[in-house]
Structure 1
Amino acid sequence: MAETSRQRMGELLRKLFEILKAQPEGLGAAQALKTLASSVTLSPYEASFYENSGARRFEKTVRFATIACVKAGWLTKHKGIWSITDEGLSAYDRIKEPAAFRRESDRLYAQWKAAQLRDPSGLSYASAKLSEQSDLTFDVDAETASMTYEQAEEQAWGEIEQHLLKMPPYDFQDLVSDLLRAMSYHIGWVSPPGKDDGVDIIANNDPLGTRPPRIKVQVKRVAHRVDTDGLKSFIAIINEDDVGLFISTGGFTRDAQSFARNQERRKITLIDSERLIELWIQFYSKLDDKARARMPLTPIYFLTPQS
Structure 2
Amino acid sequence: MNKELDKLAPSKQSAAKNLFTAFEILKQEGGQLLGKQVIDKIREKNNLTNWEKEVYEKTGYVRWESILHFYTIDAIKAGFLLKNKGIWYLTEEGEKAINFGPAKMLETASKLYRTWAADKKDNKSLKNKEVEDEPFELEENKTQSQKANLDLLEEQAIAGIKDYIRSKNAYEFQDMVAALLRAMGYHTPFISPKGKDGGLDIIAYNDPLGATTPRLKVQVKHRPDSSVPVDDIRSLTGLLNKDGDIGLFVTSGAFTSESERSARESHRHIKLLDINNFIELWQEFYIKMEDEDKNRLPLHPIYFLGSNE
Name the TM-score, length of structure 2 as normaliser: 0.86
Give 1:107's aligned residue. 111
Q: Percent sequence identity over matched residues? A: 38
Contact in 1 for aligned 2:14/2:68 (Cα 8 Å): no
| Match of residue 253, structure 1, among 252, 256, 263 | 256
**Aligned ranges for residues 126-141 of structure 1 at < 5 Å?**
128-129=129-130, 139-141=140-142
Q: Secondary structure at the match of 2:250?
A: strand
Which residue identity does 2:275 align to in structure 1? S
Distance 1:32 1:266 in 2: 37
Shifted more, 285-294 versus 187-196: the winner is: 285-294
Distance 1:278 1:42 in 2: 34
User: Structure 2: where are the runs of 5+ without partners?
Assistant: 1-7
**Aligned ranges for residues 1-307 of structure 1 at < 5 Å?**
4=10, 6=12, 9-93=15-99, 95-96=100-101, 98-123=102-127, 128-129=129-130, 139-223=140-224, 224-239=226-241, 241=243, 242-263=245-266, 265-307=267-309
Contact in 2 for aligned 1:146/1:306 (Cα 8 Å): no
Q: Secondary structure at the match of 2:124?
A: coil
Which residue identity does 1:252 align to in structure 2? F
Contact in 2 for aligned 1:13/1:62 (Cα 8 Å): yes
Give deviations 1:274-305, integer Å, cap 9, x for gaps. 32233333333432222222222232111223
CA drift of 1:147 comes to: 1.4
Contact in 2 for aligned 1:6/1:135 (Cα 8 Å): no
Distance 1:34 1:10 in 2: 17
CA drift of 1:6 comes to: 4.2
Which residue identity does 2:161 align to in structure 1? I
Deviating 4+ runs (over 6 angstroms): 133-138
Pair 102,174 (structure 1): closer, same or farther in 2 beyond 3 Å: closer
Pair 287,14 (structure 1): closer, same or farther in 2 beyond 3 Å: closer
CA drift of 1:143 comes to: 1.6
Q: Secondary structure at the match of 1:76?
A: strand
Pair 171,119 (structure 1): closer, same or farther in 2 beyond 3 Å: same
Distance 2:19 2:152 in 1: 18
Q: Secondary structure at the match of 2:301?
A: coil
Shifted more, 59-68 versus 244-253: the winner is: 59-68
Pair 214,293 (structure 1): closer, same or farther in 2 beyond 3 Å: same
Distance 1:176 1:275 in 2: 12
Pair 22,213 (structure 1): closer, same or farther in 2 beyond 3 Å: same
**RMSD (Å), alpha carbons:** 2.6
Which residue identity does 2:177 align to in structure 1? V
User: Structure 1: where are the runs of 5+ without partners?
Assistant: none
Pair 22,177 (structure 1): closer, same or farther in 2 beyond 3 Å: same
Shifted more, 144-153 versus 232-241: the winner is: 232-241
Distance 2:285 2:73 in 1: 33
Which residue identity does 2:247 align to in structure 1? G
Pair 83,278 (structure 1): closer, same or farther in 2 beyond 3 Å: closer
Which residue identity does 1:219 align to in structure 2? V
Contact in 2 for aligned 1:16/1:32 (Cα 8 Å): yes
Distance 1:25 1:101 in 2: 17
Distance 2:23 2:119 in 1: 26
Name the TM-score, length of structure 1 as normaliser: 0.86
